[in-house]
Amino acid sequence: MKLALFDLDNTLLAGDSDYEWGQFLVDRGVLDRDSYEAQNAAYFEQYKAGTLDIHEYLGFALRPLAEHSPEELARWHEDFMRTRIAPMIGEPARALVRKHVARGDLCAIVTATNSFVTAPIAHAFGIAHLIATEPESRDGRFTGRVLGTPCFREGKIARVDAWLAANGRPLSGFAESTFYSDSHNDLPLLERVSRPVAVDPDPQLAAEAARRGWPVISLRQ
């Protein structure tokens, strides 16, 4: 069996679901535009630069989940999927996932974005396994804190290894392991798999892929 791992934001999606969720809440008037929008943009720039403090960011990004009921969040997310996410899902990305599923590969999305935002997106792609940052919940409501290891940079390796161990399939047990990503933040996991693939890569990853001879593809229409 082969393993296929997919980053989500700016890889399978032509955009960043975490950033867009915040902007969606701003546009709905749920969050204050002046204070939230500027900070959201600042964290996004830090992510692209490779300087993001993931725990600081998660304290910011998960707070809105704790401030609203599950019913409100679910209702908003349905609209978010229709208006923000559906336009970011292109046919080349769907075709890539279908290819791996059709040949019987074990497929998973591996993303730093929290599972509340990304679980419906994984479902839309037909990918059963999601390895994401987990928001803590208590008594049916989110607390605004992260549960366990954030699925970011080296944390992606830890989370993937734990997932594989729980399924009795170490990474070395696969005939081939592929990871698709756009971001230099994912270099730790890209270096671990047998077939790293850069997808519409950022400048840092593009340079690294060229240096190492990794394949580079585009999923943009």
φ, ψ at 9 (rounded to 5°): -70, 125
Nearest to 54 by CA among 130, 116, 133, 121: 133
200 is catalytic: no
Among 7, 16, 18, 202, the active-site one is: 7
Beta bridge partners of 195: 178
Locus of tokens 């730790």: 188
Q: Supply the DSSP string of 2-70, one letter for each residue.
A: EEEEE-IIIIIBSS-HHHHHHHHHHHTTSS-IIIIIHHHHHHHHHHHHT---HHHHHHHHSHHHHTS-H
Nearest to 5 by CA among 123, 77, 94, 109: 109
9 is catalytic: yes
CB 200 within 8 A of CB 10: yes
Nearest to 157 by CA among 211, 196, 117, 210: 196
The total number of residues written for the chain in this structure: 221
Positions marked active-site: 7, 9
